[in-house]
């Protein structure tokens, strides 16, 4: 295994702490799942024991996520998201966008984050996404095009912070 390349995960300090908390929580849930399996085994015939099957499935999902989180945490590289000295979009930047043609789209505020932290419903888009790649290294006033299901909409970067 020593010759295998390890993945590096760039994360903000806050994102890393959030993942550590999730891991702690899952380790508690793992113990509960193991206990459920022991109880379900006591119900007899495992081939027709839905409680046992469900408990095993839950444990498998927990184990999978625990392994994933341990990998990310072990290989995490904490990044600083200070953007006070630059006027370009970088990882961690907040970006306000306005449609160039009024009514063609809505104003947007996004934060550029790593793929591990991305959550579009919270306004966090991955630097590796098509829109994220378009925003990187752009300055205030720059125009970008965002593809929508109906048509391409042009936006102007009105603020980077």
Q: What is the CATH number of the domain that holds 140?
A: 3.10.50.30
Taking the complete model, does pTM exceed 0.75, yes or no? no
- CATH no. for residue 35? 1.10.287.180
Are 72 and 99 within one domain? no
For residue range 15-68, list pLDDT tens digits in order: 889 899 999 999 999 999 999 998 888 877 777 778 888 989 999 999 999 999
Position 81 pLDDT exceeds 80: no
**Tokens (6 digits) for 156:** 């102007």
pLDDT in the model for residue 51: 84
- Residues 47 and 106 reside in one and the same domain: no
Return the exposure string of 2-33: e unless at least 16 CB atoms fall within 10 Å of the residue's CB, then b.
eeeeeeebbbbeebbeebeeebeebeebbeeb
Range of the domain at 34: 9-79
Assess whether 54 and 113 both reside in one domain.
Answer: no
Judge if 27 and 64 occupy the same domain: yes
56 inside domain = yes
Task: Give the pLDDT of residue 86.
Answer: 60
Alpha helices in the chain (DSSP H): 13-41, 50-74, 130-135
Contact 112, 134 (CB under 8 A): no
Is 145 part of any domain?
yes
How many residues are there in the chain? 161
Same-domain check for residues 74 and 117 = no
Q: How sure is the predictor about 84, in pLDDT bands with cuts at 50, 70 and 90?
A: low
SS3 156: strand
133 lies in some domain = yes
Whether residue 93 is predicted with pLDDT greater than 60 in this model: the reply is yes
- Are β-strands 124-126 and 108-113 bridged in parallel, bridged antiparallel, or unpaired? parallel
Instruction: Let me know whether 20 and 71 are in one domain.
Output: yes
Q: Which of 79, 107, 132 is the last residue of a domain?
A: 79
pLDDT band at 3 (very low <50, low <70, confident <90, very high): very low
Q: How many domains does the chain have?
A: 2
Whether the per-residue pLDDT at 90 is higher than 80: the answer is yes
Same domain for 55 and 20:
yes
129 pLDDT tier (thresholds 50, 70, 90): very high
Tokens of 52: 């046992």
Residue 6, pLDDT above cutoff 60: no
Q: Is 88 domain-assigned?
A: no
Q: Give the residue-averaged pLDDT of 91-118.
A: 89
């Amino acid at each position: 295994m020593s010759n295998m390349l390890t993945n590096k995960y760039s994360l903000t300090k806050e994102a890393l702490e959030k993942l550590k908390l999730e891991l702690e929580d899952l380790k508690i849930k793992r113990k509960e799942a193991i206990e459920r399996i022991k109880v379900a085994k006591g119900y007899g015939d495992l081939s027709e024991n839905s409680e046992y099957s469900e408990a095993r499935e839950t444990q498998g999902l927990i184990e999978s996520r625990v392994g994933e989180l341990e990998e990310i945490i072990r290989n995490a590289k904490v990044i600083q998201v200070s953007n006070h000295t630059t006027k370009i979009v970088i990882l961690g930047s907040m970006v306000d966008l306005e449609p160039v043609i009024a009514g063609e789209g809505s104003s947007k505020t996004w934060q550029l984050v790593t793929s591990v932290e991305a959550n579009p419903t919270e306004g966090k888009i991955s630097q590796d996404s098509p829109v994220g790649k378009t925003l990187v290294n752009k300055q205030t006033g720059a125009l970008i095009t965002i593809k929508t299901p109906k048509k391409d909409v042009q936006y102007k970067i009105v603020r980077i912070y």
